Structure 1
């Protein structure tokens, strides 16, 4: 998975060696994989020196790094199992597990649902994922107990951490809360949890739960628009007073569909240009970049890696915990290794379109690249892509594993893909 320069890229499913190449694309991938390995021993962990704890927020990203870079799902399944076992009788999971010091971060229980959904889509053992659906029901039942009649959360206990942010209204990682006790950032995380659980229940679980979650999500989405949408700034505010705004709320609005497609484009542009928004850390930029890509800006992905290049310029060989390295306690946090996912999923476009990765969706975002190729592990074998531009025309080679079909999306047109080699000349 080595990038060879600003006009070409050649990722592969071979693990990089420990010597970072000179060019920044290569270095980002090598450092990311090095960081991921240092933060994974018998479990995932936030860092190998300080706490050495398996936090759900970190682990969701680490799990996808494992699947995209090695295909080994043992730590992924172990993490899902461990967090499931940590769940309290009231329904909320611990924020980290195993540990002798219990800590509760309710939003991390929602990220556990996200992690389960990721494995359900990308992993090989869908039966394992389906078997964890009773846990998602208990988590969502816990959150439902703190919803007001309009669906908005109120009085959610414990540490409601979202991201390390140094902006007005944010306190120890918790998003701003209005005078009525509500927060768009929390409401949007719950909305996404309902949506992901509804999809899994619809296809692999109990359809009655899917219908229930969809009804909860519909009501909550309506409330989010009524409470937080600011028609003047064309952004979602962090709280009903509409005085504080963040990349976080608007990122989640795009990812959950609280913003329609046309609004999402405008919001994404403001996410990139409005410095008055509370800024996402190197951790939460995983979600920010997902939202920007969904809104149509994926071809600019390589321009969004300033924090990673800053780490390299400072001489770091692993990713720091904080965006501001001077304030960072830990110099090795794998929650910053998301480029090791997106070089494959966003740039090469290699994505899952069905549980168990049984169907492939390929939608590359090559930007200024003229030559890019690579492969990733797949439950049925190897999934490979090669893009070469010659005289303004693209030659594309996509090789799918046995028994796996899918589709290529290229310049807003769709092309069916069959198992084995698929070639497209002069597109």
Structure 2
């Protein structure tokens, strides 16, 4: 946990310290330590730009009494608060920050659900015309409540230095005839802006941790929104750095936490391959190969004689070594006892690590290592089937001693394309029938499987669902940024800004069908797969080749697409699953495509 209270006493503040001519003669003189570590530092150029700051003023101010005000910024924001006030020496102003209002719906909830208690004080010096207090730590909140503020309070008395990773002016923009889906997209958009700082962080309140699981969803959403691959590259190198301490990788990067989970170790090669497909950065792949080998070797030590992984027991922190999903209410039958023995999900995650590593090696044309790892993956796949497959139902049991069929196991078996005795249909029917029983993070894997099997309408139905486990539930709670769980009550310390729930942004991007043909965006692919529930829409996104706008409209049995380019491109057009597709040379401006429906 990173939150701490800042009770600022301006009587001790060195006004003018950041201006030329400041007299620092009273400051302690720095000295060189006699301790010989570290002997030297290497200063390297940072991969990413520094975060952006802009002043953000409250949308609404309610006077509740003398010196007592409630400020509403209109949405959850992340930043550092600045307070300017003129008062007597020793006067104490109390400041509350809250993500939401308290139960009375009148006061800022400073004692937040997420565990932060943002009740802080400012003691005025009275020595200057206006005291100015700048909070050091960044917070995430929507409301500020002020007590005992002296004199006249104006809109500029309190503002926030709104901070986030820089967003380009040509970021993605979306509009559609489906009002609910547009609201969901915008909620996710705000989530990835506030939750992407120096890295992809889980939340800008409680932990501020760069978790690998969050990096998968936030990273892909942020990439299609900004076309800025630099922060994804930094994320990958941060993962690599943690391999120095644990070959299996820590579950968080650039933070103190030393937890390890096999399903988060899996995220590294998945994001690596997604990054390469976008950038064609072969150096990143080559820099990662030793790390991938380390992950494989690290988990291989947990093999049992049957050829499957047994109890995965980490050195640094033996807790949730197989996460499955989060919070715990979404794990669908997995409990602590199950993950402390050989279990289906942990083995499927390891199989995924092998298969994603094979893909990475294939980009380097290392056919020998591809074959070796393919043989290893084939053996593990058969061992998983022998240990956990239910031949009667065509589903998987969560362990060797349980006959419970878990949703996540079914999704992973399909995501990693296991060659199953009864094929994919029993598993696909099962996950379609169960719907969203998983958490927000795992919907990425779920929807990816549904997309592979051409269930476009099903994905959209789930994204705009009225069920409790839905993004509509988030909106109904008043969320302005996507949150950590489907409902705040699902997790005792739920944060109300958690961009790992931004999967709808990823799949909206996929529906509109603009991607790279092959790797590295040397050519474009236009493969729209618009759900039948949408009648019209417009999506503009930046890509390495050109900013692109796709608009569409349904007319009778036709879908008419307009593709607008700022730069002429060669495009592979693939309007339907029933056609093979073809190349065209698309000019600058608008190109029309007509899809005739059955």
Counterpart check, 1:194 vs 2:354: yes
More strand by share: 2
Q: How many equivalent pairs are there?
A: 408
Q: 1:31: how far off?
A: 0.9
Secondary structure of 2:215's partner? helix
Counterpart check, 1:342 vs 2:512: no
Q: Kindly indicate whether structure 1 or structure 2 has the higher relative contact order, using CA contacts under 8 Å at least 6 residues apart.
A: 1
Contact 2:172-2:224 at 8 Å conserved across structures: no
The answer to which of 196-205 and 210-219 deviates more is 196-205
Check 1:268–1:77 CA distance in 2 against 1; reply closer, same or farther (3 A cut): same
C-alpha separation in 1, matches of 2:199 and 2:592: 41
Counterpart check, 1:289 vs 2:427: no
Q: 1:416 aligns with which of 582, 585, 588?
A: 582
Counterpart check, 1:356 vs 2:520: yes
Counterpart check, 1:176 vs 2:345: no
Check 1:242–1:67 CA distance in 2 against 1; reply closer, same or farther (3 A cut): same
The answer to which of 311-320 and 118-127 deviates more is 118-127
Alignment-derived partner of residue 163 in structure 1 = 325
Alignment-derived partner of residue 554 in structure 2 = 389
Counterpart check, 1:35 vs 2:35: no
C-alpha separation in 1, matches of 2:255 and 2:403: 39
Check 1:261–1:122 CA distance in 2 against 1; reply closer, same or farther (3 A cut): farther
Check 1:262–1:31 CA distance in 2 against 1; reply closer, same or farther (3 A cut): farther
Counterpart check, 1:93 vs 2:249: yes
Q: 1:389: how far off?
A: 2.6
Secondary structure of 1:296's partner? coil
Contact 1:374-1:384 at 8 Å conserved across structures: yes
- Could you list the per-position Cα deviations for residues 38-89 of structure 1 after superposition, in whole angstroms to 9, with x for gaps in the alignment? 1111111100010001000011111111111110112111111111101145
C-alpha separation in 2, matches of 1:323 and 1:230: 31
Contact 2:334-2:398 at 8 Å conserved across structures: no
C-alpha separation in 2, matches of 1:261 and 1:355: 33
Counterpart check, 1:308 vs 2:308: no
Alignment-derived partner of residue 256 in structure 1 = 416
Alignment-derived partner of residue 321 in structure 1 = 484
Q: 1:394: how far off?
A: 2.8
Q: 1:232: how far off?
A: 2.7
- Could you list the per-position Cα deviations for residues 193-248 of structure 1 after superposition, in whole angstroms to 9, with x for gaps in the alignment? 11111112112253322112111111112222222222333322222234222211
- Could you list the per-position Cα deviations for residues 362-414 of structure 1 after superposition, in whole angstroms to 9, with x for gaps in the alignment? 15142222334423322222344343332312333446765654341504212
Contact 1:39-1:334 at 8 Å conserved across structures: yes
Check 1:220–1:226 CA distance in 2 against 1; reply closer, same or farther (3 A cut): same
Gaps of 5+ in 2: 1-168, 315-320
C-alpha separation in 1, matches of 2:488 and 2:421: 35
TM-score, normalised by the number of residues in structure 1: 0.86
Greater C-alpha Rg? 2
Alignment-derived partner of residue 210 in structure 1 = 370
Alignment-derived partner of residue 3 in structure 1 = none
Q: 1:115 aligns with which of 271, 276, 279?
A: 271
Q: 1:237 aligns with which of 363, 376, 397?
A: 397
Secondary structure of 2:400's partner? coil
C-alpha separation in 1, matches of 2:254 and 2:295: 18
Check 1:168–1:344 CA distance in 2 against 1; reply closer, same or farther (3 A cut): closer
Contact 1:409-1:415 at 8 Å conserved across structures: yes
Contact 1:375-1:382 at 8 Å conserved across structures: yes
C-alpha separation in 1, matches of 2:305 and 2:365: 27
Contact 1:407-1:414 at 8 Å conserved across structures: no
TM-score, normalised by the number of residues in structure 2: 0.63
Contact 2:332-2:406 at 8 Å conserved across structures: no
C-alpha separation in 2, matches of 1:150 and 1:417: 49
Q: 1:154: how far off?
A: 1.5
Contact 2:247-2:298 at 8 Å conserved across structures: yes
Check 1:259–1:358 CA distance in 2 against 1; reply closer, same or farther (3 A cut): farther
- Could you list the per-position Cα deviations for residues 114-134 of structure 1 after superposition, in whole angstroms to 9, with x for gaps in the alignment? 111111112353433333222
C-alpha separation in 2, matches of 1:175 and 1:198: 32
Alignment-derived partner of residue 147 in structure 2 = none
Q: 1:286: how far off?
A: 1.3
Gaps of 5+ in 1: 1-11
Q: 1:350: how far off?
A: 3.1
